[in-house]
Amino acid sequence: MSAQYPTVKILNLHMTGLTQPGALSAAHHLIALRRPAAIYTPNAEMAERAARDPSFAALLNRADLLLPDGVGITAAARLCGKRLTRMPGIDFAEALLASAPPKGYRLFLLGAEPGIAVRAAHRISERFPRIRICGAQNGFYPAGMEHAVVAAIRLAKPDLLFVCLGSPRQELFIDRFRPPCLSLALGGALDVFAGVVPRAPEPMRRVGLEWLFRTLRQPSRIPRLAALPIFTGRVILSESRRLAKDWQTQRKMLQK
């Protein structure tokens, strides 16, 4: 992660401590540099995986921006006496497209089931006229085709790449191939852009309950919710140990 942005440490992740306007400004700057760059948006489930897998944590920390997607991350920051601005990946992506400069951006879409990326491309073009879709590839390709997919992305010369392959596959793809543009790992965002999957009502999104809406619509997600209390427990234990260590240090200083 670039050292020029403030960070907030949550367990072993160095989350970017910017507001959304600051993060958008940073993203536009990364696009202007025309070099490989990455933005990941971890939720509590990804943070729990990172806590168990140091290699995945290291991968996430190599991002240029590591933005808190879920309410679990921002709540963890508050437990540590810190503050993070929640930025759901799809909200950030929409804001980035909406704030594109007058000349616009070239956007490549990667992910979702066959036909979804093309449908999302049409809808994005209608909503954001300054965005030019330069490629759309579904995520259901054989593992042996990865290099062909990367070659197609390079040939299209995008300014932006939305990688929607699910975590950790999407982050592994970006980290391994380093596409020559700004890549955003966005999970199921193409289904939403395509109009296949609805978003939660605005009141639920405003208070961070979109996860509940998705779970009610898709009960198969329920086992994944176990990551949240486990992650929260890790954060509480880590913060308790830190406070105990600080207290012992202060006690030793007073005894001198």
Burial of 144 (0-12, 13-18, 19+ CB in 10 A): exposed
pLDDT at 43: 93
pLDDT at 59: 98
Rg of the chain in Å (alpha carbons): 19
How far apart (Å, rounded) are the C-alpha atoms in residues 99 and 205?
Answer: 21
Closest CA to 135 of 115, 114, 121: 121
pLDDT at 252: 65
pLDDT at 3: 57
pLDDT at 234: 82
pLDDT at 137: 98
Q: 3-class SS at 56?
A: helix
pLDDT at 124: 98
Q: Give the pairing type, strands 13-16 and 7-10.
A: antiparallel
pLDDT along the chain (256 residues), means of 10: 80 96 98 97 94 97 96 90 94 98 97 98 97 98 93 98 97 97 97 91 78 75 75 80 68 66
Tokens of 255: 């005894």
- Residue whose pair of structure tokens reads 């696009």 in the numeric block: 31
pLDDT at 247: 67
How far apart (Å, rounded) are the C-alpha atoms in residues 163 and 133?
Answer: 14
pLDDT at 208: 76
pLDDT at 143: 83
Burial of 7 (0-12, 13-18, 19+ CB in 10 A): middle
pLDDT at 198: 82
187 and 85 in contact (C-beta within 8 Å)? no
Backbone angles phi, psi at 96, to 5 degrees: -65, -45
What lies within 8 Å, CB to CB, of 64 at 6+ separation is 1, 2, 26, 30, 37, 38, 39
Burial of 140 (0-12, 13-18, 19+ CB in 10 A): exposed
- Residue whose pair of structure tokens reads 């979804």 in the numeric block: 116
Backbone angles phi, psi at 6, to 5 degrees: -65, 150
pLDDT at 1: 57
How far apart (Å, rounded) are the C-alpha atoms in residues 56 and 217?
Answer: 29
